Structure 1
Amino acid sequence: MEQESETTMKLFSHPMSSCSRRVRLALHLKGLKYECINVTSVGDPELLKVNPMGYVPALVDGTTEVSDSYAILLYLEEKFPQHALLPQDLIKKSINYQVASIVSSSIQPLQNMTLVNYIGELVSPDEKLPWAQYHIRKGFVALEKLLANHAGKYATGDEIFLADLYLAPQIDNALNRYSVDMTDFPLLLKLNKAYSEVLSFQQILADKPQEPSDFIKLQ
C-alpha cells in the first residue's frame, strides 16, 4: 500500500460546498496534510486545468488529479489506509454506500443552488425554498428508515465512516441553509449532535451560508 506523498496534496474547494466538506473531513480524519485552495470565482483557470467541468472539489496529489468527491474519497481510501472510511462488515459497508448514494444522487443535486436558482427563474422565486425542502425531506425519510437498525453513536456504529462524511454536511445544509423542519428525523438529529462534538466536524462545518451567487458552480 502506498503511503503519503512527499509533496503536499492540493484540494480545490469552497467553504460552503458540501462535496468539498466531505473530502476535507476525510483528509482530517486520515491525518493527511493538504493545501486548501478556496475557489472564489466561476471559471477559475487553475481549477479548470484540473477539472474542465469547473466544479469543486478537485484533488491534486503529485501528478495525480482526481475530481468529484466520491472518486476522491475512494482514491484516498485506497491510498491511505489509516482511519478506514468503510467498515469491514459487509452489511454495514453496503449501508455506507447506500447513504452516500442517497445524499449524492437523490438529495444534493436537487438542492444545489444552480438548480434552485433555475427553479426560481423558471417558476417563481417563492418556489426555490419549498423545492429544496421537499427533496431534502424526501431523502431524509429514506435515510431515517435505512439507518434505523444500524446506527450507533454515528451512522453505522460507534466509528465515523463514509456515511457520516456525507450526512454531516447535508444535515448542516438542511438546518442552516434551507431551514428544514427536522421533527420527523430524530435519528438524523441525534447524529448531527454527535457530529457537533467532533473537533474536525466543528471546524469544517463552522462556515456560515453566503449569498446564492457563491454557489453557482458548487457541487
Structure 2
Amino acid sequence: MIVLFVAIFSPSTQLPIIEYLEETRGSSGVSLLPKDPVKRAHVRRLSEIINSGIQPMQNLSVMRQLPPEVNRDQWHIILFHGCFFTAFEKELEKLAGKYCVGDELSMADVCLVPQVYNAFRFKVDLSPYPIIRRIYTVLMEVEAFKKAAPDVQPDSIG
C-alpha cells in the first residue's frame, strides 16, 4: 500500500494521492489530468477501472483468501483476461492516442503500467491487447517510468 504523509493529510489509496499531488504541485511538472473536462473525465474513468476493478484483486490480502485449490497463476490469467484487459482494450479503442487518452501522459497511464508489469510477471499472454501493449511500450521509454520500474528499486526482490 502506498501512503503519502503531507501535513495532516494522509491518503492511503493511489487515486487520491495522484489527485492531491496534481492539485498541490501540478504546475511544477507534468500534469496528469487534462485541462479539457471531457478528457479529464475519461482519464478518471479509466483510472477508476484499474483502481477499483483489478488492483484490489491483486492485493495479498485478497490472494490469501483464495481457497488452496485455486492455482494462483491461473487466477491472474483469468483476472487479467476476463476481468480487465478485454474491457480496458475496448475503452482504449475509443480513447487512445499515443497514450491512454490522447497524446498526453495522464493518471490513466500511471495506473496502467503496474497492471501490465504484473501481467508480464504472471506470464499473461498480452497478444490479444495490441493497444495496451503499444501504450506500455511507449510508456516504458519515458524516463520517469524507467526510474519507477519495480525491478530497478533498491528493495526489489527481483
> Which runs of no fewer than 5 residues in structure 1 stay unpaired?
1-55, 212-219
Q: Which residue of 1 is the match for residue 52 of structure 2?
A: 105
2-structure distance, mates of 1:196, 1:184: 20
1:162 pairs with 107, 120, 123, which one?
A: 107
Superposition deviation, residue 206 in structure 1: 4.4
1:153 pairs with 64, 76, 98, which one?
A: 98
1-structure distance, mates of 2:60, 2:21: 27
The answer as to 2:80 corresponding to 1:136 is yes
Superposition deviation, residue 110 in structure 1: 1.2
**1:9-20 equivalence runs, <5 A:** none
Greater C-alpha Rg: 1
Q: Which residue of 2 is the match for residue 205 of structure 1?
A: 149
CA RMSD of aligned residues (A): 1.9
Count of residues paired in the alignment: 152
Superposition deviation, residue 90 in structure 1: 2.5
Query: Could you say what secondary structure the match of 2:95 adopts?
Result: coil
2-structure distance, mates of 1:157, 1:189: 16
Superposition deviation, residue 136 in structure 1: 1.5
1-structure distance, mates of 2:80, 2:59: 11
- Tell me if structure 1 keeps the 8 A contact 2:14–2:51: no
Superposition deviation, residue 81 in structure 1: 2.2
- Tell me if structure 2 keeps the 8 A contact 1:103–1:167: yes
2-structure distance, mates of 1:81, 1:112: 29
Q: Which residue of 1 is the match for residue 63 of structure 2?
A: 116
Percent identity among equivalent residues?
30
Higher helix proportion: 2
2:34 pairs with 64, 87, 94, which one?
A: 87
2-structure distance, mates of 1:147, 1:99: 9
Superposition deviation, residue 94 in structure 1: 1.8
Higher strand proportion: 1
Amino acid at match of 2:74: P
Query: Could you say what secondary structure the match of 1:66 adopts?
Result: coil
Q: What's the TM-score once normalised by structure 1's chain length? A: 0.64
The answer as to 2:71 corresponding to 1:127 is yes
Amino acid at match of 1:72: I
Please list the CA deviations of residues 137-194 of structure 1 after superposition, one character each: whole Å capped at 9, or x if unmatched: 2211111000112211111122111100100111111112x11100110000000110
1-structure distance, mates of 2:157, 2:60: 11
2-structure distance, mates of 1:71, 1:101: 11
Query: Could you say what secondary structure the match of 1:106 adopts?
Result: helix
2-structure distance, mates of 1:109, 1:132: 12
1-structure distance, mates of 2:12, 2:150: 24
